[in-house]
Structure 1
């Protein structure tokens, strides 16, 4: 498990450290304080900075550009990597870094923008003046100047490096192989298992894929028990694949059987809470040995279900060795977590609330005991 996460020049953080991490870490704070950015940083770090992981992060936020290739008369989509950097700006030699420490190791990912080997340095000694985007675009119009985006990941003796040529205005191609991505010092070692659940939950296709990993395994029963938090009558659940159900806008793909009915009930007809709990349960179980990230964890759930949700996540995380990072704005959500923090076993594994405050370079940490006291006395931790 990570004990600290450190960010530098990433998203809205010039410098930030998340310390005293536990098994469950609930991030609270005002809007636009950077809670989701921290989840993304952990996701990219645990994925070793793959192009796929960066693409997922930027695609969720709509951070891409579309442009027409003159020769092919086709529209090309590129990810706008400026938004990964503090200040939404890049120039040669600008970088960001994300690192995490455990009890026995340190893991680091760095992103660097630099001139490609053989291309020229900028002619202006002072760098770029005026609008950085316009200056950078003008510079790249000269064929002698090409920028690369370099990602380097390190953990102990393991390391990976990727270099990707940037297109106009700091565009990272959706299909980077076509534009000469180079992958160096890549060790074929198992990657950390990581699951990200955003505020709108998982897509139907993703949930079916996760569910099929659990069918006929002992963990399948955990999914049923999780659904019973919202609807106690659910006795069984099954996936039903079809072309229609693979539509990301559909809440199909699953049917359940209730204790008082012989009919198969489409899960989409049973409300938002069932769908949300299903996604969280599947993601928790399939993150075995890795990290679970949940944005706005309480979305779609009534406050009466939150304590049981935390209990499900807590027990599963301990059993399957999962570290959890989640965000919320809801007071019912953190106060429900206090019921778990009051258990004797919580001190051993660690439950933490981290309040993220804009302009601060560390979080305000509440430990297990402090969470319980705050809930009992009505103190506000958000």
Structure 2
């Protein structure tokens, strides 16, 4: 698990230093304070060995297609869109391990290996004439030793050069955006639970929201598989008809029960959930995480969500919950931290914590 993280020159986060993280973390702050950028930065750090990590992050922001050039594909991730800045993430883990990822732009990088490229319609090798690429260098160090070095490359297309890689140290992160719901992924996860006869793991959590829920079933309709909920009636109901909030709870429950990522990142966790259920919702999150090694980092701008988070942490006596309020002044974003006791005092004193 991540104990502290510092982020430099990533999007609007110029110098965000030594943010402490617990097992469950709620990130608040005003619009444009950097809440979504914070969790996107953590995902970039975690998913650094994936060649398409930048296009994934752009896609989650609604950019379905982007011109393959440095200004459109990479500049949006650099502070003030300046490719001359160096992005860095410094991550300390509870194990004592110290990590750093540095991302630097190069306008004329010559690969050390031959890469077949499309050069004005002619297939050739990058070694012919020492073709230079627009490139990023991604350098990851663990306890000062380089264990990953790769170059995303641009030259009439997107390429990838890996110079050093140690996949044994990779941890798995999963990102759930405010509008992301993949029924195909959920069907696969539900299948894992069904195979092991473990569906009750998620059903007992989701009964908090639908007390009559007995089980889920995948039914094929034409060419499409659909998850149905059995609520004890004669007719089963497609889960999509139970609302966005229930579907997000189902996705989170399936992720924790079937995949159990090392870190689960959720943008706008409370989206679609009625305010009267938020304390119950957070109790569900605390119970689910208590049975796994997963660390959750999520964002909100809702006062009710913050209050529900605080009430559930206090009721469950869960000590490892952090509320982090990001605040922007001039060009700098800073983090203000609250444990459950401090957050309760602030809320009861009617202080603004959003």
TM-score (norm 2): 0.84
1:355 corresponds in structure 2 to 325
Say which of 177, 189, 193 aligns to 1:198: 177
Q: 1:56 to 1:144 in 2, by over 3 A?
A: closer
Task: Identify the residue that residue 25 of structure 1 maps to in structure 2.
Answer: 25
Whole-angstrom distance in 1 between the partners of 2:99 and 2:196 = 32
CA contact (8 A) 1:341 1:369 kept: no
Q: Determine if contact 1:105/1:155 at 8 Å carries over to the other structure.
A: yes
Which of 74, 78, 93 aligns to 1:81? It is: 74
Superposition map of 1:252-263 within 5 A: 253-259=226-232, 261-263=233-235
Report the Cα offset of residue 202 of structure 1. Answer: 2.1
CA spacing shift, 1:215–1:96, aligned 2, 3 Å: same
Residues 79 and 233 of structure 1: CA distance in aligned 2, closer, same or farther (over 3 Å): farther
Segments of 5+ residues of structure 2 without an aligned counterpart are 112-129
Q: Does 1:305 align with 2:277?
A: yes
**Which one of 202, 209, 214 corresponds to residue 193 of structure 2?**
214
Instruction: State whether structure 2 residue 228 is matched by structure 1 residue 235.
Output: no
Does residue 97 (structure 1) correspond to residue 85 (structure 2)? The answer is: no
* 1-structure distance, mates of 2:190, 2:52: 22
1:110 match: secondary structure: strand
Alpha-carbon contact 1:99-1:108 (below 8 Å) kept: yes
Match of 2:125 in 1: none
Tell me if structure 1 keeps the 8 A contact 2:175–2:264: yes
- 1:22 is displaced (CA, Å) by 1.0
**How far apart are residue 206 of structure 1 and its match?**
2.2
RMSD between aligned residues: 2.6
Is 1:155 equivalent to 2:136 in the alignment?
no
Residue 132 of structure 1 corresponds to which residue in structure 2? none
**Residue 154 of structure 2 is aligned to residue 166 of structure 1:** yes
Q: Structure 1 residues 52, 146: closer, same or farther in 2, change over 3 A?
A: closer
Alpha-carbon spacing, 1:354–1:333, altered in 2? closer, same or farther (3 Å): same
Counterpart in 1 of 2:35?
Answer: 35
- Further displaced range: 145-154 or 27-36: 145-154
Unaligned runs of 5+ in 1: 68-75, 120-142, 246-251
Task: Tell me by how many angstroms 1:320 deviates.
Answer: 0.5
Contact residue 58 and residue 79 of structure 1 kept, 8 A:
no
Q: 1:301 to 1:377 in 2, by over 3 A?
A: same
Contact 1:224 1:235 in 2 (8 A): yes
Name the CA shift for 1:189/1:144 in 2 (closer, same or farther; >3 Å): closer
**Within 2, Cα distance between the matches of 1:223 and 1:62?**
30
Deviations 1:161-209 (A, max 9, x none): 11122247xxxx5xx4xx3x21121123163122211101322222223
1:119-130 map, 5 Å: none
Deviations along 1:34-84, one digit per CA (max 9) or x if unpaired, are 1001111111111234223322112112444247xxxxxxxx9x9611101
Aligned residue for 2:42, secondary structure, equals helix
Question: How far apart, in 2, do the equivalents of 1:278 and 1:144 lie?
Answer: 49
Aligned residues: 330
Is 1:314 matched up with 2:286? Answer: yes
Q: Which has the higher strand share?
A: 2
Question: 1:118/1:162 Cα in 2 relative to 1: closer, same or farther (>3 Å)?
Answer: closer
Deviation at 1:286, TM superposition (A): 4.5
Look up the match of 1:130: none
